[in-house]
Chains A and B, each alone.
Chain A
Amino acid sequence: MYVAVKGGERAIDNAHAFLAEDRRGDPQVAELSVAQIREQLRLAVNRVMAEGSLFDPDLAALAIKQARGDLIEAVFLIRAYRTTLPRLGASNPVDTAQMAVVRRVSATFKDLPGGQVLGPTFDYTHRLLDFKLAADGQVPPAPTAPVSAEKVPHVTEFLNRDGLIEAEPQSDAVPPDLTREPMELPTSRALRLQAITRGDEGFILSMAYSTQRGYGRTHAFVGELRIGAVAVEMDIPELGFSVEIGEIELSECETVNQFKGSKTEPPQFTRGYGLVFGQSERKAIAMSLVDRALRWKELGEDNIGAPAQDEEFVLMHADNIQATGFLEHIKLPHYVDFQAELELVRRLRADAATMQEAAK
Chain B
Amino acid sequence: MTDQAYNFAYLDEQTKRMIRRAILKGIAVPGYQVPFASREMPMPYGWGTGGVQVTAACLVPEDCLKVIDQGADDTTNAVSIRKFFQRTAGVAVTEATADASVIQTRHRIPELPLREGQILVYQVPIPEPLRFLEPRETETRKMHSLEEYGLMHVKLYEDIARHGQIATSYAYPVKVEGRYVMDPSPIPKFDNPKLSGSAALQLFGAGREQRIYAVPPYTSVVSLDFEDHPFVAGKAPHDCDLCGATDSYLDEVIVDDAGGRMFVCSDTDFCRGRKDAGHIGRLGVQTDGGA
Contacts and interface: CB of A to CB of B under 8 A. Distances in A.
B231 interface: no
A307 B262 CA distance: 48
Contacts of A39: none
A184 B33 CA distance: 13
A326 B137 contact: no
Contacts of A339: 188, 236, 249-252, 266
Q: Binding site of B, secondary structure by majority: helix, strand, loop or mixed?
A: loop
B170 A321 contact: no
Interface residues of A, number: 51
B283 interface: yes
Contact of B74 (A1, A8, A328, A336): A8
Given A185-B137, A339-B236, A322 B45 contact: yes
Contacts of B285: 1
Contacts of B72: 4
B229 interface: no
Given A312-B138, A339-B252, A326 B79 contact: no
A333 interface: yes
Nearest to B249: A336
Most buried by B among A83, A84, A340: A340
Interface string A149-180: 00000000000000000000000000000011
B206 to A, nearest CB: 11
A325 B41 CA distance: 11
Interface string A1-43: 1101111110110000000000000000000000000000000
Interface stretch (B161-169, B173-181, B220-228): B161-169
A327 B35 CA distance: 22
B44 A76 contact: yes
B218 to A, nearest CB: 26
Interface stretch (A224-232, A275-283, A344-352): A344-352
Nearest to A342: B252
Contact of A343 (B6, B40, B235): B235
B69 interface: yes
A337 B44 contact: no
Given A84-B6, A339-B250, A2 B137 contact: no
Nearest to B72: A4
Identify whether the interface residues of A are mostly helix, strand, loop, or mixed. helix
A186 interface: yes
A344 B45 contact: no
A10 to B, nearest CB: 10
B190 A340 contact: yes
A262 interface: no
A337 B253 contact: no
Nearest to A77: B42
Nearest to B47: A329
A12 B79 contact: yes
Interface string B62-100: 000000011110111111100100000000000000000
Interface string B35-68: 1111111101111010000000000000000000
Most buried by A among B39, B44, B69, B167: B44
A256 B121 CA distance: 51
Given A332-B77, A336-B71, A82 B40 contact: yes
Contact of B234 (A180, A312, A344): A344
A340 B189 contact: yes
Contact of B45 (A182, A186, A321): A321
B268 interface: yes
Nearest to B138: A185
Contacts of A243: none
A219 interface: no
A215 B169 CA distance: 39
Interface centre among B12, B47, B70, B241 (most CB of A within 10 A): B70
A351 B125 contact: no
B137 A312 contact: yes
Nearest to A87: B14
Interface of A: 1-2, 4-9, 11-12, 76, 79-80, 82-84, 86, 179-186, 312, 316, 321-322, 324-330, 332-337, 339-344, 347-348, 351
11 contacts: A1-B285, A4-B74, A5-B74, A12-B80, A83-B39, A84-B6, A324-B45, A335-B70, A335-B266, A340-B170, A348-B164
The 9 A-B pairs at the shortest CB distance, nearest first, are namely A329-B46, A325-B45, A340-B169, A182-B35, A325-B44, A340-B188, A325-B46, A182-B210, A8-B79
